[in-house]
Structure 1
Amino acid sequence: MRIFSAFISSSASFGHRSLSRLSLRLLSFSRIAIPMDAAEESLRRALAEKQSAIETQGNAVRSLKAAKAAKPEIDAAIDVLNGIKLEKSSIEKQLEAAVSGNAGDGVLSREAFRQAVVNTLERRLFYIPSFKIYRGVAGLYDYGPPGCAVKANVLAFWRQHFVLEENMLEVDCPCVTPEVVLKASGHVDKFTDLMVKDEKTGTCYRADHLLKDFCNEKLEKDLSISAEKAAELKHVLAVLDDLSVEELGGKIKEYGITAPDSKNPLSDPYPFNLMFQTSIGPSGLSPGYMRPETAQGIFVNFKDLYYYNGNKLPFAAAQIGQAFRNEISPRQGLLRVREFTLAEIEHFVDPEDKSHPKYSDVVNLEFLMFPREEQMNGQSAKRIPLGEAVSRGIVNNQTLGYFIGRVYLFLTCLGIDKERLRFRQHLANEMAHYAADCWDAEIECSYGWIECVGIADRSAYDLRAHSEKSGVPLVAQEKFSQPKEVEKLVIAPVKKELGLAFKGNQKNVVEALEAMNEKEALDMKAALESKGEVEFYVCTLGKNVSIKKNMVAISKEKKKEHQRVFTPSVIEPSFGIGRIIYCLFEHSFYTRPSKAGDEQLNVFGFPPVVAPIKCTVFPLVQNQQYEEVAKVISKSLTAAGISHKIDITGTSIGKRYARTDELGVPFAITVDSTSSVTIRERDSKDQIRVSVEEAASIVNAVSDGQMTWEDVWSNFPHHSSASTE
């Protein structure tokens, strides 16, 4: 069993002085226990073997009794049977520990750890259910003061790390979007999840969630299932997103899954569009939707943004904003909600040149990657140098690789544990037909591996779709110094013939034909000329269709051109801010014993860059002179732009420290004289002594990353904390 701490080391920010001191602290922190699939499978097989052995030995005992064997012989056989039963009982306990995550003293199960985190977050008002006094609404949450501060800090760092570093063009587009825009993008027709209904009460459930819950519950709680059955359920979980409507409905019926609350039978699955519909204007004649993503606002503004950028590629546009999805059965707190914040980047690049000028900045990064080949072969994620992944073609191109590297640096700088962060490549059947490659940054938390960032090469699909629907060409130009004779592939679907043959599916077939690469198109041309008809797979329909010679014209034409006009490809990193923040909460949370040792104190180990409050200022005791000094320091912190809080209550200093540790405040300034003060670092609890005039500048330097806590510890006198904690 693999056991790891729920603590994220902040050594990168603070520079802990020795590994041994860090290790000692880790021993006192609450930990999560995560079962390893191989160990669990081995235990299940061992359990099945013991059960079989019990049946065999039981039959042997019964045979001896039936044959009226001597009592000593029967007693010996019974002793063997009892021994096997004891061994089985031991294996059952081990298996129960493995699936529940209960590894013994000091180790919390997933559920217990999650509850401890959520209780602390809600009690300290990081976030709470919206409209709480009216019993709330599922999938809607309010951020309280510390939660707002963490979110603002995450977004500020995102702007610094991406928008400023890459000279991106930031836009802010409306949340209400006309239907025609989302019709062109495909959201109106395809942005769906599969839903089932309780046939008696009409209560709706998301079909894949019910199947997922059933499989997980069987694996975690049913110790009697065989290793083969466990393997089958794990396979279902692995391919869950790829199941068709029929396959999903078949599994629900096969496993006898009913409505969770009433146990009533369920309907067959059917698609439900997740967008919130509205109308624009009082007439109700102009339909619209609350946007399900922020990307479309960037795509429809491409022409103006391209002009603003001097008609030059590559360039990136970015947007932070609210998105809305009418989830069927929202759950898992901030991980699946109906209104959430997205931060999205659309990097426009020449499809014939996807190199990146700053690729060398990330080429030597090495982190957990989960390519599709390893997934299909049943292997685990492994550390791969980013440069190797790009050079071997695992990652499609340099620009996609560059953004994967930048996302890794962003998340780890926020405080995400690099050992619980992986980049998983989409399987071939997960990707849209137009996508060249797609990776998800997944973070492991108590809910398992959660997709928090998607990094996709979407080719030119989005700009082409909006060009076709709007009639406005969303293209870029490359002017030649001398005219060039070029040979161009021309694919001309005959829409009239396709419409007669495929009716409502005409658009899907046209899109698939136009998306063919040169080899596919020329192969089709040869087949049509020789046979007059060819089978053609349309991804968006999920089936083959029959294309006849009169339905498409394919040719190569030579012509002289003074410029090259093309539709740019798009590399899109898309960040779910709420999901990142929740995973950060879990990765930063730990507990440690109080000074008296009679209780466990909660701590959020946020790095200073995201901490809701950077510093607290405490007069050691209620004293007019100390309070005046605290006010002077407060003014200096304000002038430096450092968020802080003064606490002049009469509470003991130890309790005040504990109170702010639970909010994740990294530094505390304690005023215990009129000329000097102490500065305490949250995780080590180490303190230094500095002059009143130096205090604000030191906190500012460490918070901004100009210095580490190790630098500070090396350059200022130490102060014993024994009397205060």
Structure 2
Amino acid sequence: MGERDKYAKLVELAKRRGFFWPSFEIYGGVSGFYDLGPLGTLLKENIKRLWLDYFVTKHSDMVVAIETPMITPEIVFKASGHLESFTDPIVSCNKCGRVFRADQLIEDALGIKVEGKTPEELTKIIKEKGVKCPVCGGELGEVRTFNLLFQTYIGPYSRDRGYLRPEAAQGMFLAFKRVHTVMRSKLPLGIGQIGRVARNEISPRQSMIRLREFTIMEVEFFFDPSEKYSPPFERFNSRLNILTAEDRLKGVEKPTTYDAEEAVKEGVVKNEWLAYWMVVSKEFVKELGVAEEETFFEEKLPDERAHYATQTFDQMVKVSRWGWVEVSGHAYRGDYDLSRHMKFSGQDLTVFKRFPEP
């Protein structure tokens, strides 16, 4: 049986057995939205409980869970940089008017990776390589950016603009000072959250893998970078399969296996806590049924990283239909978010550090 046939049969089985099906089905459906049926809802709850166990309960000495709103005032995303940077490149067909995500269109047509390239660079590739509209064969226009935030209004006044959050992180950054106080001003401190998010994806595909609304599970971990920490690597098997940015630039496709602590010492991972949470994530995915050899961490190149990150690893998992897909992201954000929110709010989000001696 081909992978396409196997996938089609699994999707059909999921519908019949009550795991999931397209939302708004009687009206023809809308891409990027799915309902969870009775069994799908129970399966999701099992996954959420397991995630809480790994990331919160097993780390109750330093991680707590909170819940924050999905609707967020505009000022928050001005401060975080999402209004400016949370974008994807799009291109329109001059003939039929259809709109496509430009980087995916090029990758599908030419089989080359173009993630992180500017709209101007993508336009040049389209023109030079003769990439056409995949629907009607028409000429494509100039590549431009499209913001992925869903916009709404808070209350009856149009000036009170808000957005559906695309990640849970900002709520945790805004609550940091209060949670830090509640937890008796201790560092390191992890804040976890499970909640709904929304991203106005240009062309959702890959069924349940790429959605416009979904549940996300996140931890933001706060620590003093001037302190020397010893994360509890002994709690888990600390081997990590890593494909570094340097190896990617050399054309290497196979990841290298590192001990997590050695990866930090060798400078492969810039921070010990980043390496530790990568280990936890690997073990969590392993308990979900993914073998170690079927997952690795891919370091993002500088032009692929989000605007807030100094180092990022995507956890990749191999699936039979689409090959390697991202299931989690691990970013070393530094103090970017807290410092930006201090600047835009005028509030002090620093913490008091007590030294043994004055």
Aligned to 1:215: 110
User: CA deviation digits over 1:247-287, x for unaligned, max 9?
Assistant: 11111122222222222222111011111101000122200
Shift of 1:481: 4.2
C-alpha contact (below 8 Å) 1:199/1:264 kept by paired residues: yes
What is the 5 A alignment of 1:415-494? 415-432=289-306, 435-445=309-319, 446-483=321-358
Specify the SS of the correspondent of 1:476. Answer: coil
C-alpha contact (below 8 Å) 1:359/1:399 kept by paired residues: no
CA distance in 2 between counterparts of 1:195 and 1:429 reads 18
Aligned to 1:624: none
Matched, 1:159 2:52: yes
Specify the SS of the correspondent of 2:355. Answer: strand
Q: Which of 1 and 2 has greater Rg? A: 1
Structure 1 vs Structure 2: percent identity of aligned residues?
A: 38
CA distance in 2 between counterparts of 1:433 and 1:271 reads 15
Shift of 1:434: 5.4
Matched, 1:285 2:159: yes
CA distance in 1 between counterparts of 2:273 and 2:230 reads 5
Letter in 2 for 1:155: K
Letter in 1 for 2:210: R
C-alpha contact (below 8 Å) 1:275/1:324 kept by paired residues: yes
Aligned to 2:260: 386
User: CA deviation digits over 1:556-580, x for unaligned, max 9?
Assistant: xxxxxxxxxxxxxxxxxxxxxxxxx
Matched, 1:143 2:36: yes
Aligned to 1:55: none
Higher helix share: 1
Among 146, 159, 163, the alignment partner of 1:272 is 146
C-alpha contact (below 8 Å) 2:85/2:307 kept by paired residues: no
Among 174, 187, 200, the alignment partner of 2:95 is 200
TM-score normalized with structure 2 length = 0.94
Structure 1 runs (4+) deviating above 4 angstroms are none
Shift of 1:111: 2.3
CA distance in 1 between counterparts of 2:77 and 2:349 reads 17
Shift of 1:208: 0.9
CA distance in 2 between counterparts of 1:432 and 1:175 reads 21
Q: Structure 1 pair 300/354, CA: closer, same or farther in 2 (3 Å)?
A: farther
Q: Structure 1 pair 131/387, CA: closer, same or farther in 2 (3 Å)?
A: same
Specify the SS of the correspondent of 1:310. Answer: coil
CA distance in 2 between counterparts of 1:259 and 1:309 reads 55
Aligned to 2:239: 366
CA distance in 2 between counterparts of 1:195 and 1:158 reads 35
CA distance in 2 between counterparts of 1:265 and 1:357 reads 55
User: CA deviation digits over 1:166-192, x for unaligned, max 9?
Assistant: 122211111110000011000111111
Shift of 1:413: 0.7
C-alpha contact (below 8 Å) 1:176/1:291 kept by paired residues: yes
Letter in 1 for 2:271: N
CA distance in 1 between counterparts of 2:245 and 2:149 reads 30
CA distance in 2 between counterparts of 1:189 and 1:383 reads 37
Specify the SS of the correspondent of 1:440. Answer: strand
Specify the SS of the correspondent of 1:115. Answer: helix
Aligned to 1:25: none
CA distance in 1 between counterparts of 2:351 and 2:18 reads 49
CA distance in 2 between counterparts of 1:434 and 1:323 reads 19
CA distance in 1 between counterparts of 2:65 and 2:166 reads 19
Q: Which runs of 5+ in 1 are unaligned?
A: 1-107, 217-235, 484-725
Among 70, 74, 77, the alignment partner of 1:182 is 77
CA distance in 1 between counterparts of 2:336 and 2:35 reads 36
C-alpha contact (below 8 Å) 2:73/2:161 kept by paired residues: yes
C-alpha contact (below 8 Å) 1:359/1:398 kept by paired residues: no
Letter in 2 for 1:462: D
Among 311, 327, 339, the alignment partner of 2:213 is 339
Shift of 1:109: 3.5
Aligned to 2:18: 125
CA distance in 2 between counterparts of 1:274 and 1:435 reads 19
CA distance in 1 between counterparts of 2:117 and 2:307 reads 17
Aligned to 2:203: 329
Q: Structure 1 pair 186/354, CA: closer, same or farther in 2 (3 Å)?
A: farther
Matched residues, number: 354
CA distance in 1 between counterparts of 2:131 and 2:353 reads 58
CA distance in 1 between counterparts of 2:262 and 2:211 reads 37
C-alpha contact (below 8 Å) 2:172/2:220 kept by paired residues: yes
C-alpha contact (below 8 Å) 2:240/2:279 kept by paired residues: no
CA distance in 2 between counterparts of 1:356 and 1:438 reads 21
CA RMSD in angstroms, aligned pairs only: 1.6
Letter in 1 for 2:239: E
What is the 5 A alignment of 1:384-423? 384-423=258-297
User: CA deviation digits over 1:320-361, x for unaligned, max 9?
Assistant: 001111111111111111101110101100011252341333
Specify the SS of the correspondent of 2:353. Answer: strand
Shift of 1:433: 6.5
C-alpha contact (below 8 Å) 1:183/1:189 kept by paired residues: yes
C-alpha contact (below 8 Å) 1:314/1:348 kept by paired residues: yes
Q: Structure 1 pair 373/393, CA: closer, same or farther in 2 (3 Å)?
A: same
CA distance in 1 between counterparts of 2:310 and 2:57 reads 27
What is the 5 A alignment of 1:610-629? none
Shift of 1:432: 4.9
Matched, 1:376 2:249: yes
CA distance in 2 between counterparts of 1:462 and 1:314 reads 17
Aligned to 1:111: 4
Q: Structure 1 pair 422/268, CA: closer, same or farther in 2 (3 Å)?
A: same
Q: Structure 1 pair 242/130, CA: closer, same or farther in 2 (3 Å)?
A: same
CA distance in 2 between counterparts of 1:424 and 1:447 reads 17
User: CA deviation digits over 1:468-507, x for unaligned, max 9?
Assistant: 0000011112123443xxxxxxxxxxxxxxxxxxxxxxxx
What is the 5 A alignment of 1:80-119? 108-119=1-12
Shift of 1:365: 2.7
Moved more, 270-279 or 435-444: 435-444
Shift of 1:393: 1.5
Shift of 1:159: 0.7
CA distance in 1 between counterparts of 2:3 and 2:240 reads 25
CA distance in 2 between counterparts of 1:377 and 1:405 reads 26
Aligned to 1:191: 86
CA distance in 1 between counterparts of 2:109 and 2:218 reads 34
Q: Structure 1 pair 334/432, CA: closer, same or farther in 2 (3 Å)?
A: closer
Aligned to 1:11: none
CA distance in 1 between counterparts of 2:265 and 2:52 reads 30
Which structure's relative contact order is higher, taking Cα pairs within 8 Å and 6+ residues apart? Answer: 2
CA distance in 2 between counterparts of 1:356 and 1:241 reads 35
